[in-house]
Structure 1
Amino acid sequence: MTQGDKGRLVWNHSTHLDGLIPVLEKLINYTGINTITPGVIGRAKGHCPHLKLRVSVPIRGGYKAIARQGKTVQEVFIVTDLSQKELESAIKQVLS
């Protein structure tokens, strides 16, 4: 993974999970990631003490990821040229 041309982080909601924006700001620095758009916030049944971000399903031009913390979940749409494995590796690096 190289860091190069910076992608774009779209701010279309006024609310985000605590700690999500700094993680996404690191993620957009990866070459191949073009746009990241945080989406709908919802409630989960389980409790996740630390912020987690995992790739969920492929979408046209990229992937949908799910961010979880506490009992809150948020969709994150990532437009990228990276493969799912490359994206998961980039996410793992920015979360560590």
Structure 2
Amino acid sequence: MSEPSGRLVWNHSTHISGLIPVLERLTQQTGIKTVTPGALSRSRGRIPQLQLRVSVPIRGGYKLVARKGNSVQEVFVVTDLSQAELEAAILFCLG
């Protein structure tokens, strides 16, 4: 296995509360190359705890959707991991 050397890209000034520490842990996982938080928006529903799930595959990785309260934020992950491996890594980082 390769040495964990992921990178967290800071391109927005606002993030969902508690998201950045989870993303920093995710960058430490083997196979994660780049994690980039995207646009922050609002939803009607309320999710009490931070939730991070795989949405769709993108070129070189996956788009994730982070939710907490009525905030929603896209997160783009460039990785060699399969969707199942990425979901396991996310569960580990949230736990």
- The answer to whether the 8 A contact 1:3-1:30 is kept is no
- 2: CA distance, partners of 1:16 / 1:3: 29
- 1: CA distance, partners of 2:2 / 2:50: 23
Structure 2 counterpart of 1:32, which letter? G
Give the share of equivalent positions with the same residue, in percent.
Answer: 64
**Which residues in structure 2 correspond to 1:70-85 (within 5 Å)?**
70-85=69-84
How many pairs does the alignment contain?
95
Aligned to 2:28: 29
Aligned to 2:42: 43
Query: Gaps (5+ residues) in structure 2?
Result: none
Structure 1 stretches of 4+ with a deviation exceeding 2 A read: 2-5
Q: TM-score, normalising length from structure 1?
A: 0.95
CA-based RMSD: 1.2
Shift of 1:4: 3.1
Q: TM-score, normalising length from structure 2?
A: 0.96
Shift of 1:3: 8.3
Structure 2 counterpart of 1:50, which letter? Q
- 2: CA distance, partners of 1:80 / 1:9: 13
